[in-house]
Structure 1
Amino acid sequence: MTAIDPSLVSLFTVAGKTVLVTGGSRGIGFAVAKGFVRAGARVYICSRSAEACEAAAKELSQYGECHALAANLGSAEECRSLADRLAERESRLDVLVNNAGAIWAEKLEEYPESGWDKVFNLNVKGPFFLVKSLLPLLKAAASHENPARVITVGSIDGLHVPSHETYAYSSSKAAVHQLSKHLADQLAPSSITVNVIAPGMFHSKMLKGTLEERGEEAMLAPVPLKRFANDTDMAGTAIFLASPAGSYITGAVLPVDGGTATTL
């Protein structure tokens, strides 16, 4: 049997890195956090519910090191508070995964301002002010050959017009894609990369209602690979972007959607 070259294995290592995953108590955030924990990173997760956050961190701790920091990231003040609490524990942050998000579906004639504001506050304002607040920790971790990483979870709904009436959600995801490109350009001199993972359909609370209404077969009809994204797809892509293999990628929007974006 041919021996595996250790240098190739190390291309994808994130062991020893300090990682913050927002919205990490369930769904894509939980999957990504689990992947990093199992890969040997020290992971912090946050969510609005302190109880849910603690329970998720306890579950993930069976695989490695994971800590809970409850936060509602819909305001600049909460983003600063989270950054301050993390700085009390850590002197650097290697990877920030902006995953926390909200969705609001409503008929155009009835779409409320409160729903629009909730989605944009969490999906766009939150990632911006969290990056701003965490800049000192990210810069402390960054080097020319090994940048600090910001990975934001966008959506293929930010790349096309969805059939369902989620006006604020699709608009916010398009906005955060552009915001990430802007930040990538601005932060490159500080050796901080900024990239977006744009998932397709993933079994989550957000998708549950649509899946129940339309059915799995109809939902998968436009997906060339004919399946939903799974935990490995999400975690693997985030780990790749955070590893040495992804150190020269910045300003990219990477669809993880089974080929759906190719048919749009």
Structure 2
Amino acid sequence: MRFTKLTIGQLSLATGIHQQRALSEQLAQLWPRLDVLYVNAGDVTHRLLEEWDESSYDRLMNTNLKGPFFLIQSLLPMLSNPSSLIVCGSVSAHIGLPQSSAYAASKAAILSLARTLSGELKAKGIRVNGLNPGPTETPALSKLGNGASDQPLRDEIRALVPVGRLGSTLELAKAAVFLASDESAFMVGSELLMDGGVKNI
């Protein structure tokens, strides 16, 4: 399979449909077709249920669900037949980590989207799967809540990992390459866990 590298960074946080369509038009000027689309957007805010307000909740859901939904919709005409669409979920969608209520709900929703789209898009030759990271050493880890005061939460998250360490971005990248490649051609509507065993404890 030929891979087309697509790096959109913070552009994926544009949640409005008009913004997403404008992005699609810009990308179409650079690449005629996309072989792989990896949708990775994450507001990782964690806080107690009673500490959430509506604007913070909307911001998280806009970033983690609405933005990816309309990004996929806007880029759909560019996806090749065959191609691979990968959404980034989280092991949090499957566990009961305290203070993760809104985040986990958003990731459960994006994984549900992957399953339904796998059925909807199969006739177009588009395979859809989810990649579920566990705790991973990225800058996002420092944005769980309110900085240094969240060290106990960070320690609790690290303690969840049976292998005794956080995952690396390279390990996640290798998993994404697997899902993008023909090596995973028989995987459709699946979730690949890269969580160090967190889901199994």
- In the superposition, the TM-score normalised over structure 1's length comes to 0.69
| Alignment correspondent of 1:169 | 103
Structure 2 match to 1:51: none
Matching residue within 186, 208, 212 for 2:142? 208
Does 1:186 pair with 2:127?
no
Contact 1:156 1:257 in 2 (8 A): yes
In the alignment, structure 2 segments of 5+ residues that lack a partner are none
Provide the aligned length of Structure 1 versus Structure 2.
197
* Larger RCO, structure (CA 8 Å, separation 6 or more): 2
Unaligned runs of 5+ in 1: 1-13, 19-42, 49-69
76, 90, 93: which one pairs with 2:31? 90
Q: Identity over aligned residues, as a percent? A: 34
Alignment of 1:21-32 (within 5 A): none
Q: Assess, with a 3 A threshold, how the Cα gap between structure 1 residues 217 and 166 changes in structure 2: closer, same or farther.
A: closer
Provide closer, same or farther for how the CA distance between residues 204 and 222 of structure 1 changes in structure 2, counting only shifts above 3 A.
same
Q: Report the equivalent of 2:43.
A: 102
- Per the TM alignment, residue 77 of structure 1 is displaced from its structure 2 partner at its CA by 1.8
- Which TM-score applies when normalising by structure 2? 0.89
Task: Provide Cα deviations, 1:205-257, integer angstroms capped at 9, x if missing partner.
Answer: 33225695128765433322111111221011000011110122110111100
Task: Provide the rounded CA distance (Å) in 2 between the counterparts of 1:180 and 1:71.
Answer: 17
Cα RMSD for the two superposed structures? 2.0
Quick one: which of 133, 150, 155 aligns to 2:85? 150
Find the residue that maps to 1:227 and give its secondary structure: coil
Distance 1:89 1:209, change over 3 A: closer
CA distance in structure 2 between the aligned counterparts of 1:113 and 1:75, rounded to whole angstroms = 18
Distance in structure 1 (CA, Å) of the matches to 2:46 and 2:155: 22
Match of 2:198 in 1: 260
- In structure 2, give the amino acid aligned to 1:46: I
The secondary structure found in structure 1 opposite 2:192 is strand
Partner of residue 197, structure 1: 131
Larger Rg: 1
Deviations 1:169-224 (A, max 9, x none): 11100111111100011001111011111100111233225695128765433322
1:250 maps to a residue whose letter is V
Mapping of residues 117-128 of structure 1, within 5 Å: 117-128=58-69
2:3 is matched with which residue: 14, 17, 26? Answer: 17
Do the aligned partners of 2:137 and 2:169 also contact (CA within 8 Å) in 1? Answer: no
Could you list the structure 1 runs, at least 4 aligned residues long, displaced by more than 3 angstroms after superposition.
209-212, 215-220
Aligned equivalents of 2:19, 2:143: Cα separation in 1: 29
Higher mean Cα deviation, 220-229 or 153-162? 220-229
2:40 alignment partner AA: N
